[in-house]
């Protein structure tokens, strides 16, 4: 565990995780115009495979 993580209160960690969960830029994905590789897996703990497939559909030219 890093020194920063050891000094961070559980409340702060919970608040950060909640904000991450609420952060949604899916409406802007269509505006990405650079090559992008989307990597997903069935057992990904952060991003579901369905979400990765959805990103791929919304980003033109993604692989």
DSSP state string for 44-60: -SSS-HHHHHHHHHHST
Say if CB 58 and CB 28 are below 8 A apart.
no
Residues across the chain: 63
Q: Which of 19, 30, 21 has the alpha carbon at shortest distance from 58?
A: 30
Which tens digits make up the pLDDT trace of 2-45?
676 678 888 998 898 899 889 999 999 999 999 999 998 889 98
Note if the pTM is more than 0.85. Answer: no
Domain boundaries, the chain: 24-63
């Amino acid at each position: 565990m890093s020194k920063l993580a050891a000094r961070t209160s559980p409340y702060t960690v919970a608040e950060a995780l909640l904000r991450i969960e609420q952060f949604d830029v899916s409406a802007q994905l269509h505006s990405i115009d650079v090559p992008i590789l989307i990597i997903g897996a069935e057992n990904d703990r952060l991003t579901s495979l369905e979400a990765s497939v959805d990103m791929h559909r919304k980003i033109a030219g993604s692989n």
